[in-house]
Structure 1
């Protein structure tokens, strides 16, 4: 399978972040409705990850920082800080890894990086119906940064911005929840809930991730 530009972070769309953008409708924010952020958590949402570096996964560069992941075991990234930056990094890693993991890799990503529930089950069913056997060779998107629109200790809504070779910018709206002592991506139950949107430019308030 050779994904097109808009597929890259949506490579299993109906799967989650993956699949043609028309399919990339399975990763909108979940149905949970956490309380509004309070106190120091609100200001911390704009603090960038520290000691940032980049590590490639299947042809896409992913950010690694002091806030996580603390451990990368083959295809699985775990050990994210519970604060806002850790939540954002977890959202990025989970979304990208679930989207471009190969046929032999995606079950581990699903088991260890996605929140349990009907959304994950539906994603797994859809993912099993397509085949990804190789990394992205050319034209991989670049993660620019993120905004956190809502954060509490147990849940965070993260909008991830990426740029593609034709200079188009894509926003992917995600939600992570704190489950089993780590942040896990919450895949929505509604397969028609769209999460991927083309935008003119990233917002001014985006937490920019310094490129290599």
Structure 2
């Protein structure tokens, strides 16, 4: 009798361990699925004109707020893409009253930001962009929860398709890391959108 009870106890223990192992495996699989990022999915965005440039002004990945400038992006690849595009647009078009907010809210501290702010303070920008560029697609060349590099494919009138890398860092939000003058990359002309995820504006 004692031997039978011991056998049953061992069997019960094995069943419990097996069940726990199964539950742990399911939880691990669910966690891995939640943590899987899709670098090839474009933001599900609403596009509109920003100073004459068509941009994804609203999506499920942000921005959550547009006052005084867009901010509040999801910590996702799509949030980084949103921040990259809107950051480029606002850097180029912010008027004399708004550009300090662009610098403080949309960019990360560093030499590049300081140089951009110094140069921007010496010029006046207002109105809409004539013959604006058009964002055609993106490629995420590097991504983690803390850093991202988004290569934007943009078509410029009279130039054609170009590729330009935008570096971002997570500091409570996705912020642009502006390159210093001596490290700024050039626009690279490209022949097609091969390798890029195309936008559906």
TM norm structure 1: 0.73
Q: Name the CA distance, whole Å, in 2 between partners of 1:172 and 1:83.
A: 20
Q: CA deviation at 1:194?
A: 2.0
Which structure 1 segments of 5+ residues have no match? 1-38
Map Cα deviations across residues 59-110 of structure 1 (whole Å, 9 max, x no partner): 1111131111121114x11111101011111011111111121222211101
1:166–1:189 CA distance, 2 compared to 1 (3 A): closer
Match of 1:88 in 2: 81
From the CA coordinates, give the structure whose radius of gyration is larger: 2
Structure having the larger proportion of residues in helix: 2
Which structure 2 segments of 5+ residues have no match? 1-34
Map Cα deviations across residues 23-57 of structure 1 (whole Å, 9 max, x no partner): xxxxxxxxxxxxxxxx833xx1111212x211221
CA contact (8 A) 1:70 1:80 kept: yes
1:109–1:89 CA distance, 2 compared to 1 (3 A): same
Q: Name the CA distance, whole Å, in 2 between partners of 1:208 and 1:56.
A: 18
Deviates more, 1:125-134 or 1:105-114: 125-134
Q: Name the CA distance, whole Å, in 1 between partners of 2:81 and 2:109.
A: 19
Match of 1:208 in 2: 198
Structure with higher RCO (Cα < 8 A, 6+ apart): 1
**How many aligned residue pairs are there?**
166
Match of 1:71 in 2: 65
CA contact (8 A) 2:164 2:185 kept: no
Match of 2:42 in 1: 48
Backbone CA RMSD of aligned residues: 1.7
Q: Give 1:162's match in structure 2, choosing from 154, 163, 186.
A: 154
